[in-house]
Amino acid sequence: MTEQLRLMAVHAHPDDESSKGAATMAKYVAEGVDVMVATCTGGERGSILNPKLQGDKYIEEHIHEVRAHEMEEARKILGVKQSWLGFVDSGLPEGDPLPPLPDGCFALQPVETAAEPLVRLIREFRPHVITTYDENGGYPHPDHIMTHKISMVAFDAAADPDAYPAAGEPWQPLKLYYNQTMSRQRTVALHEALLARGMESPYASWVERWKERDQRTLTTRVPCADYFEVRDKALIAHATQIDPDGPWFHVPLDMQREIWPTEDFELVKSLVDTEIPEDDLFAGIRA
């Protein structure tokens, strides 16, 4: 191709872009690819997960503005563009039985209605490749599952001139991937590597919990170890969500680069010929 390649990553909340596929995005930015993050919600109902900031009344009262500022800092670190789709965080329901989701939240929107802002952004940005979550949302947060649903609708609808006619000129993305950065395969590999070196693993409960979990197919493993440090800086920018001394950072970078130097994806739609396994989200498009 002679035109600039374009990648869109669709995420549910601010911070998701930095924990899922961030090193891949930073790598492509360094190579001259135009990268856009579509953030579905503002993360308004997200808890303050960093114990160092818990109890801060200003943050509690201005969480929407704080998380928007964190997103802007992470965006700068990764070198990407970013757009808000404008939906309200659904929160993560807890309890038995689970409480109902709050009125007006993202996960309660009709899928066809909620897909329109994403269709509009796809038609404006014109990505060749889109990444999103699988049908389980990566984990079963209602906003992650809804992100999957609207992404699947928007990938096809963006190219249909009869769909959402007021949302811009049609555009056909060429490939759609599920982000599988936190796969069972990677988690087990890092867990076992830590134990083999006599180190404590933050993944013990994950591995136990995922014993019955099916392994996803990793069709595409993008080498991006040189950008793990950039990824971590972007994560730390989301200070309300990420403790810099927390489990995200327990595996030394050198070990990560040795044991699992890629971020991984599952190809689910392709309108170009490509051979599996891939090491490039643009395989079949560059040629």
Does residue 16 have a known ligand-binding role? yes
Q: What is the pLDDT of residue 214?
A: 74
Does residue 156 have a known ligand-binding role? no
pLDDT in tens, 10-45: 999 999 999 999 999 999 999 999 999 999 999 999
Does residue 128 have a known ligand-binding role? no
Largest CA distance in the chain: 60
Percent of the chain clearing pLDDT 90 (strictly above): 89
For the chain, give the mean pLDDT: 95
Question: Is residue 198 predicted with pLDDT exceeding 80?
Answer: yes
pLDDT in tens, 233-286: 999 999 999 999 988 899 999 999 999 999 999 999 999 999 999 999 999 999
CB distance 219 to 183 below 8 Å: no
Amino acid making up residue 139 = Y
CB distance 35 to 80 below 8 Å: yes
CB distance 47 to 29 below 8 Å: no
Question: Is residue 1 predicted with pLDDT exceeding 70?
Answer: no
pLDDT confidence bin for 215, thresholds 50/70/90: confident
Residue 8 bridge partners (DSSP): 36, 130
Residue 278 bridge partners (DSSP): 220
Structure tokens at 244: 């810099």
CB atoms inside a 10 Å sphere around CB 54 = 12
Of 188, 145, 172, nearest to 285 (Cα)? 172
pLDDT in tens, 71-91: 999 999 999 999 999 999 999
Distance CA 207, CA 259 (A): 17
Q: Which residue do the tokens 């114990």 mark? A: 51
CB distance 74 to 238 below 8 Å: yes
**Overall average pLDDT of the 94-110 stretch:** 93
Does the domain spanning 6-182+217-270 belong to CATH 1.10.3470.10?
Answer: no
pLDDT confidence bin for 2, thresholds 50/70/90: low
Q: What is the pLDDT of residue 140?
A: 87
Distance CA 287, CA 146 (A): 34
